[in-house]
Structure 1
Amino acid sequence: MKTSFIKYGQKDGKDLCEITLKNNKGMEVKVLNYGATLEKVIFKGENMILSLPHPSDYSKERNFLGGTVGRICGRIKSGQWKHGDATVQLPKNDGENHIHGGIGTDMRVWDFRLDKRKDTAKVVLTLLDPDGNNGFPGNMKLTASYELDNDNSLLYKLEAVSDQMTIFNPANHTYFTLGEKSARDVWMNISADYFLPVSRDGLPIAGMESLKGTAFDFTQGKRISEALDSNDDQIKLRNGLDHPFILGCNRPAATLTTRKYQMTMSTNAPAIVVYTGNHFNNTGVASNIGQYDGVTLEAQCPPTSGSDLSEITLLPNEKFNRWAWWYFE
């Protein structure tokens, strides 16, 4: 097992570093302390995820590629959280709604330390998000970690605690490709019987619906292109997959398969939001990425259409613990 890092720049008075974890079988994972970002997963000599050409590109323009997106990953209707008689107003940065935490945790420089054991290589990243930042109550301490083992699996953990009652629903935002030029060619299986239909603004509209017999039915596995090419109104509305899938007790949560590789994902999250990179168009800092080039499996609590956010409410000193496990073969 090997760990190392290089400095490639500086931002906000802190060093920007690219961290490398490598196992004894030659699998290599690169992590940026900018945004606690999963930059690359090199397996059998090929990158399994969407990446920008250079580490320095990530801080030039918000792109969500591999970032730890918080405090909220997703949308909050009208940017409002109501609890009791109190209403917390968050920035409206997506039309009339709030999205992705404002100037989120994926845009901050995290501190880090390396840890190497006999069979694991690990990086632990920490960030203090102050009370009132982006409108969120509470001083919050976040700890993210990436741990690579000799079985070619990568464990991502995110822990957090706040000194005030607050809301918290982050997610890792890695786009998987498994070596394919387009996610259209990826075979996907999801252990979910229900999904959430959404409105034009991306918020849920009518609670859970059965996905059986719909374009969203991946219980037996199928190519992502079958959903993208369907006449389903929901697919047309969001120009692709951009929907929460409600997970059951079956494991694994999801599997992605291509001609040469397979990635199996497990998580303790109640849902995964599947997004097929519908907005990419080979412009800006992500000029090397086009529409449907990758697919995200965002492990999180599903979004809600109202301002009752009790599911993602943290009490003072309550510990948050989320993990996602990715196994490559």
Structure 2
Amino acid sequence: MKAKQIHTNTFIDQKEVVIVELKNDKGSFVKLFNYGTIINQFVVTNAHGEQQDIVLGFDKFEDYINPAYLANYPYFGAIIGRYANRIKNGQFELDSIEYQLATNNGKDCLHGGEIGFDKKVWDIVNIGEEPHASVTFQYFSLDGEENFPGDLAIQLTFELTNNDELILTYQADTDEATPINLTHHSYFNLSPKGESIINHIHQMNAANYLEQDSNFVVTGKLIPVVDTIHDFTKPKAIGANWDSESGYDQTYVLDKEYGALTLASKTTETSSGLSLLIYTTEPVAHLYTAKYLSVKNGKNGKDYGEFDAFCVETQHHPNALNIPHFPSTILQPEEVYTQTTIYKVLIH
């Protein structure tokens, strides 16, 4: 197991952007930036003995802050916070106080506002090699940042095991009640040539999905997946019976005990022989098949377009701040927020 830092000599807000590389004994490795805790590479060995990178991104850090990329920003590989997904009208009420957030997605707030945790340089508080190659990042979100209340301290630890598991462990605390809903936004493609993900075989352990309005904000209504295109309770090709114009951009309520670490989804690709299993303590997972992806000059000069990747964003119920019957996403000062999500890669 190895863990090392690589300096970029690039500074943002007077903090250096650093690459952290985690490597296991099998030769698999992950490269992370402390900027947005971006997963830049996740390289494993496929069924043909070839090393294969399974996440989308760029070869150079500078491309992650390029204005052309940010103009149609897909949040490649970054943490999402203080609040993932959409908040209706960017508004919520907490302790009889009305809060207005940025409306950066139509009339709604998306992924924490204009400058979320994905655009911050995180501190590196620990790098280790036992029992697994690991790194812990930390960020302090001050009261009023993006108009959220309370000082929030967040730590995110990545561990790469010899079983090709990338374990993400989140922890946070606050000095006053505040909303929190964190996720990570990696774009996966298991094809050796990065072909469309329509033939990836996907399974999601969810009997219900959440109704959304025209801007993809959840309304609070659960809809059974049975007899719909959203039924992934048994494995099927992502493109088997979908709306080929839109793909999937949908939140699924996982069949599980609240807070338990269980299997959320399994995605398999035939030509690579790879499967990606995602385990999480979170109650929902958002499946996005990159309908709106349009990025020039990605890794090895490849242009990325619609359906070139899939995301499984583990999180709490979106817009729960405005839907009382959803599990609470308010963190109190006496509480500690925790979440574990595991990306496990297997040869099937």
User: Same fold, TM exceeding 0.5?
Assistant: yes
Contact 1:241–1:274 (Cα < 8 Å) also in 2: yes
User: Does the CA contact (< 8 Å) of 2:59 and 2:298 recur in 1?
Assistant: no
Aligned counterparts, 1:206-285, within 5 A: 207-229=221-243, 239-249=246-256, 251-259=262-270, 260-283=273-296
CA–CA distance in structure 1, aligned partners of residues 102 and 44 of structure 2: 40
From 191, 204, 212, the equivalent of 2:205 is 191
Kindly report the root-mean-square deviation, in angstroms, between the aligned alpha carbons of the 2 structures. Answer: 1.9
Q: Structure 2 CA distance, aligned partners of 1:116 and 1:167?
A: 31
Contact kept in structure 2, 1:269 and 1:301, CA below 8 Å? yes
Q: Which amino acid aligns with 2:104?
A: N
Q: Which of the residues 182, 188, 203 maps onto 2:217?
A: 203
Q: Does 1:288 align with 2:289?
A: no
Partner of 1:233: none
CA contact (8 A) 1:83 1:308 kept: no
Segments of structure 1 that go 5 or more residues without pairing to the other structure are: 231-235
Cα distance change, pair 25–320 in 1 and its aligned pair in 2 (3 A): same
Shifted more, 92-101 versus 16-25: the winner is 92-101
- Render the CA deviation track for 1:201-220: whole Å, top value 9, x for unaligned: 11123600000121100111
Aligned-pair identity (%) = 27
Q: CA deviation at 1:148?
A: 0.5
SS of residue matched to 2:30: strand
Counterpart amino acid of residue 100 in structure 1? H
Q: Secondary structure, in 3 states, of the residue corresponding to 2:127?
A: strand
- Counterpart Cα distance in 2 of 1:46 and 1:132: 42
Contact 1:272 1:297 (8 Å CA) reproduced:
yes
Q: Is the 8 A contact 1:240 1:278 kept in 2?
A: yes
The aligned counterpart of 2:44 is 43
Alignment of 1:81-230 (within 5 A): 81-102=92-113, 103-179=115-191, 180-205=194-219, 207-229=221-243
CA shift for structure 1 position 107: 0.4
2:196 partner amino acid: S
1:322 positional shift: 1.0
Where does residue 335 of structure 2 map in the other structure?
A: 318
Q: Which amino acid aligns with 2:255?
A: G
Equivalence map 1:24-39=2 (5 Å): 24-39=25-40
Asked whether 1:74 is paired with 2:91, we answer no
Cα contact 2:84–2:318 (8 A) shared by 1: no
Deviation at 1:17, TM superposition (A): 1.0
Q: Secondary structure at the match of 1:49?
A: coil
Report the Cα offset of residue 305 of structure 1: 7.5
Task: Find the residue that maps to 1:175 and give its secondary structure.
Answer: coil
1:54 to 44, 60, 69: 60
The amino acid that maps onto 1:50 is: L
How far 1:78 moved relative to its partner?
Answer: 1.1
Give the SS at the match of 2:263. Answer: coil
The one-letter code sitting in structure 2 at the alignment partner of 1:290 is G
Aligned residue number for residue 2 of structure 1: 2
Alignment CA distance shift 1:206-1:300 (3 Å): closer
What are the superposed Cα offsets for residues 278-308 of structure 1, whole Å, 9 maximum, x if unpaired?
1112448797211111111111112137724
How far the C-alpha of 1:154 sits from its partner, in A, is: 0.9
Q: Which letter maps to 1:110?
A: W
**Residue 48 of structure 2 aligns with which residue?**
none
Distance 1:306 1:168, change over 3 A: closer
Q: Distance in 2 between matches of 1:63 and 1:194?
A: 26
Q: Comparing 95-104 with 249-258, which one deviates more in the overlay?
A: 249-258
CA distance in 2, matches of 1:197, 1:48: 30
Paired with 1:284 and 1:135, the residues of 2 have a C-alpha distance of: 35
- Specify every segment of 5 or more residues in structure 2 that has no aligned partner in the other structure, as ranges: 46-50
Q: Report the more deviating stretch, 245-254 or 160-169.
A: 245-254
Distance in 1 (alpha carbons) for counterparts of 2:287 and 2:217: 14
1:136, 1:305 → 2: CA distance? 15
**Residues 248-281 of structure 1: CA distance to partner in whole angstroms, max 9, x if unpaired?**
1284210010111011111000000111111112
Specify the alignment match of 2:314 in structure 1.
299
For residues 176 and 321 of structure 2, the distance between their equivalents in structure 1, rounded to whole angstroms, comes to 22
Which secondary structure does the structure 1 equivalent of 2:218 belong to? coil
CA contact (8 A) 1:190 1:253 kept: yes
